[in-house]
Structure 1
Amino acid sequence: MRWHLLLSLLISSTALADSLHTCEHCAKHLLPAITQITPGRKYARDRRVDIEHLKLDVTPDFVRRTVAGTMTMTFSPIGLPLDKLELDAVDLAIADVQVTGAQLAEWVRSADKLALIFAAPIAPGTHISITIQYSAEPTRGLYFRTPEMGYKPGDTQVWTQGEADLHRFWFPCYDYPNERFTSEVICHAPKGMEVVSNGRLLSTTDAGDLTTWHWLQDKPHVNYLIALAAGFFHKIEDKAGTIPLALLVPPSHKDQAANAFADTRKIIEFFEKEIGVPFPWDKYYQVFCHDFLAGGMENTSCTFEASSLLFNSDTENLRSLYWLDAHETAHQWFGDLVTCRDWSHLWLNEGFASYYTVLYEEEKNGHDAMLYSLWQEAEDVLDAKDTRPTVWRDYGDPMQQFDTRVYPKGAWILHMLRSQLGPDLYRLAIRTYLERHRNGIVSTDDLHKIVEEVSGLSFDAFFDQWLYHGGFPELKVDYAWDAATKQAKITVKQTQKVTDQARLFQFPLPVGFTVKGQKEPLKFTMKITQAEEEFYFALPAQPELLRVDPDYTVLAKVDFTPPGDMLDKQLASDVIGRLLAATHLGTRKDQASVDKLAALLKEDPMEAIRTQAARSLAKIANPAARAALIASLPGQPNARCRLAVVEALSSIPHPDAQQALMKHAETEKNPGILTAIIRSWGTRPGDAAVATALARQLTTPSYQNAIAAAAISAYRAQDEPSATPAILKTLQEDPLGFRTRDYANALDTLAFLSRKEENRDEIRSFLINHLTHPKEELRTAAAKALGVLRDPKALAVLQAMLPGAGPYADPTREAASKSIQTLQAEQTGSAELKNLWNEVQQLQKKTEALQKQLGDSKKKATPTKK
C-alpha cells in the first residue's frame, strides 16, 4: 500500500512526479486514529481455525449509505477442540446466525466482536459452515461517495479499504493477516454501475433496478485484501499476455485516464521477467476512487488508487503515476501472493514493493535514473533519523508501521542484499522465496533462511542489524596520501549514537580510486567492524579521485570532503558522484563554486543533477548564485528543472528573484510550476502587482482548481483579510471543483484571515454549516477552523458536538474539543480558568469511559441467544 504517498503527496501541485515515493508513503499519519492504541509488544494471533472460503452477498444503499449483507464462512478447527469462535465485527447489526455441521448454543455481540458459542466443542478437522445476516452504516472500511456528500453527479461510487484491519466495520470476519482463504463477492448494484472485486467475474444478472455481479477469487488470500468497488466509471482496457487489464476512473476524470494507464502492461511484463514468477492472479484492474485513504491499495487482482493523483498532460513530466503503478503491481507478488504473517514483518510487503518500483525505474529510464531513485529513498531514511527496528513489535496500532522503516529503508535493505549476492543469485533467492511460500504467510526468517540456503553464506549479522535493530551507519571518513610508501590511508569512524536499539554496524564498505593511467578505477572493500578503523591501500600513483561506496551499495550517512581538486573530478563522474559534489558545493560561498553549479544547471545531461544544482545555488543565495538562477529560468525546457529553479528563487527573499518569478508567471503554461510561483507570492504582502495577479489567479480555471488553491494559500501566508470575500465567493461557486484537502485548507484560510475582524458572522455561519458536511475531512476542518476564527459565538455549537464517545477516535469531535479549549482560553483570558477547563475535559473523558465500560458489562451480562 502506498501510504506515504498520501501521505506526503496526494499530490501538492508543486511536487515532482518522482516525489510520489517520498515518505509517503508517511501516509499513515494522514489518517485519523481508527483503533484504540494498545500498549505492549504485538505478536501474531492464534489461528484456532483454518478458514477455507468466505462468501459475501451484499447490497449497498447509496441513499442511506448503508450496506446489508450475508456472510458465509466455511472452516475447520486446527489442533484443539473449538468451543467458541470469535469474529471481528464493529458496529454491525446482526440479524441472524446459522451454523451447519455443529450446534450453536448462543451468540454474543460486544463492541468489536461477535462470539459464536457452540453447544459442544467441535473436533479438529470438522468442516463447519456459518451464515450471518447483518447490516451496517460503516464509518470505516467501506466508503460511499455520492452527490449528497459533495461529489459530482455521475461520479457516485462506493469502495472498500481493508488494510490494516478495517473490514470488520462492514462485515464480520477474521481481520488479521495470518490466515488465507478463497473468497467470492456478490454485489447487487443499481443498473448502469460497474462492480469490481477480486478474481474473475462469473456472471452479471439483471433483476429489476439492480444488477447482480458475481466475482470469485479461487486462489487464497488474506482478509484485508478482499475488495469491492461499485459505481459509475470510465473504463479503458488492455492485456499483458493473456492477463486482462483495465483502468477505471470517475467519469469526470475520463480525460486523465490514459495518463494513469501508460505503463501497466510494461510493468507486469518486466516484473514477470525480473521476478521469474508469472503474474499470479486472473486479471489486473485499477480503480481510481474519490478521496481514497492512501495513494493506492494492492487488493488481489484489483488495486484501488486515489483519484486526486490523476493529472493532465499539461503538467509535462512533473506528474507521473508509473511509480504508484509499479509499487502496487509489485504487491501482487509481494504482499498478495505471499503476505507478512503479522504487522511487525510489514517490510516484506512494502519494502519489496518499493524496491521493485526502483528496479522498474531502471528498466524504464536507465541505470542512472535507478541510482537517483535510490538516492531519494536514502534521503527519506536519513532525514527521518528513526532508530526503531524495521521488524518492530512495540507499535500501538498497525498503522504506525507504515513509515520510512518499511518503505524506503526496506527497499534499501533489499538493494544491499542484492549488491552482496549479485543480481543472479539474488533473483534465485527471491524466486525460491516466492515459489516455496506461494499462497502462504511469511516472516523475515523465511527470507533469511532462503538467502543462506542459495548462497551458502551467513547473513546473521546482516538480518540482525538491518532488520532486528534500528538506525543506520553514520560515517566520518578521512583520507591521506603517503607519497613515500605510495599508500592511501582511509580512516572510518562510526559516529552514530550507539544504543540497545541501534548498534555499531558490521558491513562491507567499497572504496574506489581513480589513478591516472588506469582505464578503470581500482576498487577495494573495507570490512567495517569497529567504531574507528584505519585501512591502507597500495596504489601505483596518487589517486586523482577517491569515491566511498562508488557503486552506491550501502545505506549510510557519509561525511567525506574530497581534498584538493578531487571535487572537480567528481563533477565529471557518475550520477551519485555528481549529486554528492553538487550538494557539497552548496556549502561554499566562493565564486568558483557558483560557477561550477551554474554550469551543472545549464549543461548536465541529467535533470536530477540540474535540480540539485538549483537547490545548492539557493543555499548559497549570494548575488552571483541568484543571478545564475535567474539567467537559467527561461532556458530550462525540462519541467522538473524549471520547477527546481522556481522553488530555488522562491526561497531567496530578494527583489530580483521576485521580479524574475513575476515575469516568468506571465508566460509559464505548466500549472504545476505556475502554482509554485503563486504560492511564493505569500511572502509579498502589500505588493500591488502581486495583489492584482492573485486576484486574477483566484478565478483562473484549472484542473481540480489547483491554481485557485495556490492563490488561497498565498493569501493566507500574506494574512490578507481583504481577500476573504473573494475566497468565500470562489468556494461557494465551485465547491465540487476542489480536491477535498484543498477545500479543507481553504476553510482554515477563511477563519485565519477573519480572526481579527469585528464582524465574523458570515464566516462563522459558513464554517458551522460544514460541521454537518457528509465528508469527515471537511467536518473536521470546519471544527478546527472555528477555533482559528477566535469567535466565542461558536462555542455553543462546538460544545453540542462533544457528548457521546466510542471505542474509536472521532477526529471531528477531537478537533471541536481543541477549538473549545482555544475559545474558552481566549474568552476568559485566565490561566486559572483555562486549567479548570482542562480538568473538566479530563473528567468528561473519564465519565465517558466509565459509561462505555458499564455498557459493555451490560452487553456481556445479557447475551443475545439464538
Structure 2
Amino acid sequence: MKKGFISSLCMLAVFSTYAQVQGQKDDKAMDVYRETPTRINNLVHTKLDARFDYSKSYLLGKAWITLQPHFYPTDSLNLDAKGMDIKTVALNAGGKNTPLKYQYDGMNLRIQLNKTYKRNENYTVYIDYVAKPDELKVKGSAAITDAKGLYFINPKGEDKTKPTQIWTQGETEATSVWCPTIDRPGQKTTEEIMMTVPDKYVTLSNGKLISQKKNADGTRTDHWKMDLPHSPYLFFMGVGDYAVVKDSYKGKEVSYYVEKEYESVARRIFGHTPEMMAFFGKVTGIEYPWVKYAQIVGRDYVSGAMENTTATLHQESAQQDARELVDGNRWEDVIAHELFHHWFGDYVTAESWSNLTLNESFADYSETLWNEYKYGKDAGDAAGYSAMQSYLSNPENASKNLARFHYHDKEDMFDAVSYQKGGRILHMLRNHLGDSAFFKGLNKYLTENRFRAAEAHQLRLAFEEISGRDLNWFFNQWYYGNGHPKLDISYKFDDAAGKVTVIVKQTQEGEKVFRLPFAIDIYEGGKKSRYTVEMNSRADSFSFSYKQRPDLVNVDGDKILLAEKKDQKTLGQYVYQYKHAGNYLDRREAIEYAAGKQSETIAQNLMLQAIKDPYHGLRILALEKLDLKNPAIKSSAEKTVAELAAKDPRATVRAQAIGLLTAYDNAAYTAVYKAGIKDSSYSVAGKSLEALAGVDNAAAVEAAKQLAKQPVKGALVVSLTTVAAENGIEESVDAINKAFAQMPLSQEKVEILQPYGQLLAKTNSADKVKTGVDQIVHFREAVPAPYRTQFDAFINNMILQGVQNAWQKKGSDAQELVEYIKLKRSGDKKGF
C-alpha cells in the first residue's frame, strides 16, 4: 500500500502529533503484546459467487471455503464476517449442502463442524449471505481513511460528474466485510470469484479471467481464477465502465484500466510497467511470479494505492492528462511501489501486522531502486532523501520500533517508520553488505519463503547465510529497537604532525548508543582516499595522516546513514564538497549551507553554479534558495535565470525560474510570461500567470478568464486560484470549484484553502459559493480522524468563517446563504 495522503500532509501531521503522543501515554492498548495470531484452521481455497444490488449497495454472496486444521484436530471454525446477514451455513460435500450449527455476533461466525477433522483433512463450508458495507460502523486510520471493505461509487448514477464503480479494499482486515474468511495476513489461499454485473461494465479480479457468460437479464458473469495462494487482504473485485489498455511482459498480460477520458494517455502513465517488471525480476533473481498484472484506477479511493495480487488499485490521482504529464509523471514512484509488493507482500507476506515493514520497507525502497536504475544515481538518492525526511519530520517516529509488538491498533503500523525508515535501513544494509550479497540475500529470503508468511528474523537469517556475517546487532538495533542517531561531527587538523582527527559524538537523548559503520573520505591534493570505520561509543575519534592539509574530510562518504547530522565543516570545505564529492547529498548539503551564507562571495559563486546543476531537482533547490535581495547575486544570476526560464529541458525548472524573473521588474520579461501562459506545462502556465499579475495585472485577469475556460489541473490550480482571489474573478469560480473537487487529499489541497476561501468571499453568486462551501466541507470530512480536531478548527474558524463574514455584509438578501454556511460549519447536513 502507498499512503497517498499522509506521506505528504505535513501540516496536518504537525496539528496532530501532540494529541497522538498524549493519547498514547495513557493508552492501555499499548500494553498489549500483539502476537502472531494462533492458527487453528488454514484456508485452502475460496470460491465466491458475487452479485450486486446497486440500489442498496449490497453484495449478494455465496461462498465455498475449503479449509484444513493447522496441526491439532478441531471440530469448530471461526470466520471473520463483518456486518452481514447470514442466511445459510452448511457443510458442502459430494455436491450436497448439510446445514451446520453456528453462532453469529455481527463480526465473527462461529461454526460447529459435523465432526472432528484432523491435520491435512480438508472440508468445505458453504455460506449464503448478504454483505452491507455501508451499514457497517468501522473506523479507518491516517493511512487508510475507511475500512468498510467494499465500496459502491455513485451506484445509482445520481452524480453526473462521477462514474459508477465498485471496488474493494482489503488491507488491513476488511475483506471479511464482503467475503467470510480468516482475515489474517499469515493465511494463504487460492481463490476464484464469479462476478455478475451489468453487461456494459468490465470487471477485474485476482488471477486470470477464465470465462464470461452473458445472461438473459442483461447481465454478464465473469469468472476469475487465482491458482497461486495469497492472503485474504489481497482479494480484489473491481467493476466499472473502463477503457482497458493492453500491454504485455514475456507473454503475460499487462493491462491498465482507466476512465475513458484517459485512454489515450494510459501508456504514458503506466507504460513503464513492463520495464519495471523486468528490472525487479533482475534485482530479486525471481521473475514476476503471477499470471498477469493489471492496474485499475478507482474514484474516491481511501488510500494512495493497494497491491492486490495481480490487480493493483490506484486512487484517481494516477490519472493525469497530457499537460500534467509534461511536468513529469507524479505517480511513477507509486507504480513501482505497488509492483514491488508483488514480491514483498504478495509473494512473501508479513506474518503479522507487527512485521508490516517486511512488506512496506521494500516497497518504499523500490522507489529508490527504480529511480536509480531508470534516471540515474542522483534521482535514486533524491528519492531516498525525501523518504528519510518523511521519517525525520515527525519526532514521534523516534519512539517506535520497526518491528513493533505494542501498538494501539493495527492501522497505526502504517506510518513513516514501517515505510520510510524501513526503506532507509535497507539502504544502509545494502551499503554494509555490498550489492551482490544484498540482492542475493533478497533472493534467498524470497525463495525460501515463497507463498508463505515471514517475520524479520527470517530476513536476517537469509542475509547472514549469504554474507557469512552475524547481523543480530543490526536487526536488534534497527528492527527491534527505536530511534536514530544524532551526530555532531568536528575536525582537528595538526599540520605539524600531519594528522587530522575526526570527532563524532552521538547526541541523541537517552542511553542508547548506535553501532555505525561508515566511510570517511579524505581529499588531499586532488585525490580521494577512503577509510571504512565503525562507531561504537557515545563519542569516537578517528585519526588519519596527511602530507598536506586535506581540502575536505567527508564523513559518511556514501551518505547512507539514517541520522541527523551537525557537521562543522567550513564554507570552503562545502564548496569543495559540491565540486568534488559528487553525490546528490554532498551537493545538496553544500547548497543548503551556502544558501545561509550568501553575503560571502564564494557562497554566491556556489549558488550561481548550483542553479546549473546537472540534476534538475538540485537546480530547483538552488533557485528556491537564491537570495535575489542581494544585489550582487541578483545581477550575476539574471542571465542564467532568464535562460533557465526559456530553455531548461525540465518544465518544473522553467516554472521556478519564471517565478524568480519577477524580482527583476523588467518589462522585457512580460513577453516571456505571456508566452508561458500558453505553455503545455501547467506549472509553467501557472507561474507565468502569477508573474504576469505582478507586471500587468489587467492582462493577467484576462488571461485568468481564458484559462478558466480550459481544464485546470496540477500546479495551475493554485496559481489561478491565487490570482482569481486577489482580483475577485468570478468567471473562474466554476472552474476552480471543479478543480478543487477533483484534487485528492494532499498538502496542495491544504495550501489552496486560504485563497479559495478568499475567492468565495468575493464571489456574488450564492450558488457558486454554496458549491465551493460544499467542496471545502467534503474535504474537511474526508480528513482522517487522527488529524481532524485542529483541522476542523482551521476550516471552520478561518476559511468558512471568512466566507460567512463577507456574505453577512451583503445584507438580508444573503441571509439564506449565511445560515447555510453556519450549518455547514457546525457539521449539520441540511440542504440549501
Q: Mean Cα displacement is larger for which, 119-128 or 89-98?
A: 119-128
The residue type equivalent to 1:442 in the other structure is A
SS at match of 1:46: coil
Q: More deviation in 746-755 or 444-453? A: 746-755
Aligned-pair CA distance for 1:741 = 5.3
Spell out the pairing of 1:240-255 with structure 2 (5 A cutoff). Answer: 240-255=249-264
In 2, the alpha carbon distance for the partners of 1:817 and 1:45 equals: 44
CA distance in 1, matches of 2:753, 2:587: 42
Contact 1:755-1:789 at 8 Å conserved across structures: no
The aligned residue for residue 63 of structure 2 is 71
Please name the residue that 1:297 is paired with.
Answer: 306
1:130 corresponds to which residue? Answer: 125
Asked if the contact 2:316/2:744 (under 8 Å) is kept, the reply is no
| Pairs within 5 Å for 1:631-650 | 631-636=639-644, 643=652, 646=655
Q: CA deviation at 1:339?
A: 0.4
The aligned runs of 1:702-713 (5 Å cut-off) are 702=711, 704=713, 707-708=716-717, 710-712=719-721
Name the residue aligned to 1:830.
none
The alpha-carbon deviation at position 747 of structure 1 amounts to 11
Give the aligned partner of residue 228 of structure 2.
Answer: 219
Q: Does 1:185 align with 2:193?
A: yes
Q: Are the structure 2 counterparts of residues 239 and 374 from structure 1 closer, same or farther at C-alpha, using a change threshold of 3 Å?
A: same
Aligned partner of 1:6 in structure 2 is: 5
Q: CA deviation at 1:461?
A: 1.4
Taking a change above 3 Å as real, the CA distance of residues 417 and 773 of structure 1, as seen in their structure-2 partners, is closer
Q: CA deviation at 1:789?
A: 3.7
1:204 CA displacement = 1.1
Q: For residue 143 of structure 2, what is the aligned residue in structure 1?
A: none
Q: Which residue of 2 aligns with 1:46?
A: 38
The structure 1 residue matched to 2:454, chosen from 442, 447, 453, is: 442
In structure 2, the residue matched to 1:112 is 107
Is 2:586 the counterpart of 1:566?
Answer: no
Once the two structures are superposed, what CA deviation does each residue of 1:639-685 show, in whole Å capped at 9, x if it has no partner? 6866357558869996849997996365241443146538968999x
Alpha-carbon distance in structure 1 between the residues aligned to 2:322 and 2:768: 37
> Counterpart of 1:329?
339
Q: Kindly indicate whether residue 549 of structure 2 is the aligned counterpart of residue 547 of structure 1.
A: no
Confirm or deny that 1:202 pairs with 2:183. Answer: no
2:458 is matched by which residue type in structure 1? D
- Which residue, 347, 350, 359 being the options, matches 2:357? 347
Shift of 1:61: 3.4
Contact 1:330 1:356 (C-alpha < 8 Å) held by counterparts: yes
Greater RCO, CA 8 A, separation 6+: 1
Q: SS at the partner of 1:571?
A: helix
Following TM superposition, by how much is the alpha carbon of 1:489 offset from its aligned partner in structure 2, in angstroms?
Answer: 0.7
Q: 1:225 deviation in Å?
A: 0.6
Inter-partner Cα distance in structure 2 for 1:670 and 1:6: 27
Q: C-alpha displacement at 1:108, in angstroms? A: 2.6
2:382 is the alignment partner of 1:378: no
- Distance in 2 (CA, whole Å) between partners of 1:312 and 1:11 is 27
CA gap 1:178/1:756 in 2 versus in 1, 3 angstroms: same
The verdict on how the C-alpha distance between 1:794 and 1:38 changes in structure 2, with shifts beyond 3 A counting, is farther
Q: Quote the Cα distance in structure 2 between the aligned partners of 1:748 and 1:541.
A: 58
Task: Give per-residue Cα distances to partners, 1:452-502, cap 9 Å, x unaligned.
Answer: 222221111111111111222211111122122211110001112226xxx
- Retained in 2: the 8 A contact 1:155–1:252? no
Counterpart in the other structure of 1:258: 267
Displacement after TM superposition at 1:188 (Å): 1.0
Q: Greater shift after overlay, 521-530 or 79-88? A: 79-88
Q: Which residue of 2 aligns with 1:169?
A: 177
For the 8 Å contact 1:72–1:130, the answer to whether it is kept is yes
Structure 2: distance between partners of 1:730 and 1:745: 18
Q: Does the 8 Å CA contact 2:269/2:319 hold for their aligned counterparts?
A: yes
Indicate the SS of the match to 2:393. helix
CA distance 1:462–1:773, shift in 2 (3 Å): closer
CA distance in 1 between counterparts of 2:667 and 2:122 reads: 74
2:433 counterpart of 1:421: yes
- Once residues 658 and 496 of structure 1 are traced to their aligned partners in structure 2, the CA distance between those partners, rounded to angstroms, is 53
Aligned position for 1:32: none
Distance 2:360 2:203 in 1: 27
Between the aligned partners of 1:340 and 1:779, the Cα distance in structure 2 is: 25
Whole-Å separation in 1 of the counterparts to 2:381 and 2:524: 24
Cα distance between partner residues in 1 of 2:652 and 2:28: 41
AA partner of residue 455 (structure 1): S
Unaligned runs of 5+ in 2: 21-26, 135-147, 805-814
Q: How many residues align?
A: 775
Aligned CA distance change for structure 1 residues 301 and 159 (closer, same or farther; 3 Å): same
What letter is aligned with 1:67?
L
Aligned-residue identity in percent: 24
The amino acid of 1:92's aligned partner reads: M
Does the CA contact (< 8 Å) of 2:522 and 2:530 recur in 1? yes
Please report the TM-score for the alignment, with normalisation by the length of structure 2.
0.82
Q: Map 1:466-865 to 2 at 5 A.
A: 466-498=478-510, 503-516=512-525, 518=527, 521-563=528-570, 565-573=572-580, 574-575=582-583, 576-593=585-602, 595-617=604-626, 622-626=630-634, 631-636=639-644, 643=652, 646=655, 656=665, 664=673, 666-668=675-677, 669-674=679-684, 677=687, 688-689=697-698, 692=701, 695-696=704-705, 699-702=708-711, 704=713, 707-708=716-717, 710-712=719-721, 722=728, 726=731, 729-730=734-735, 738-739=742-743, 752-753=757-758, 766=771, 777=782, 789-790=800-801, 819=827
Task: Tell me which residue corresponds to 1:94.
Answer: 86
2 CA distance for matches of 1:370 and 1:422? 17
Question: Residues 295-319 of structure 1, C-alpha deviation per residue, up to 9 Å, x if partnerless?
Answer: 3211111211123222234342433
Q: Is the 8 A contact 1:510 1:523 kept in 2?
A: yes
Q: Does 1:455 align with 2:472?
A: no
**CA offset at residue 399 of structure 1?**
2.7
Q: Write out per-residue CA displacement over residues 304-351 of structure 1, whole angstroms, 9 at most, x where no aligned residue.
A: 112322223434243344322221111111111000011121111111
Gaps of 5+ in 1: 13-21, 30-35, 801-815, 824-866
Decide whether the 8 Å contact of 1:42 with 1:395 is kept in 2.
yes
Higher mean C-alpha deviation, range 755-764 or range 509-518: 755-764
Does the residue aligned with 1:237 lie in a helix, a strand or coil? strand
Tell me by how many angstroms 1:439 deviates.
0.4
- What is the SS of the residue equivalent to 2:268? helix
Matched to 2:269, the amino acid is: A
Indicate if the aligned counterparts of 1:104 and 1:118 stay in contact, CA closer than 8 A.
Answer: no
Contact 1:699–1:708 (CA<8 Å) still a contact in 2? no
Distance (Å, rounded) in 2 between the aligned partners of 1:333 and 1:148: 38
- Aligned counterpart, 1:307: 316
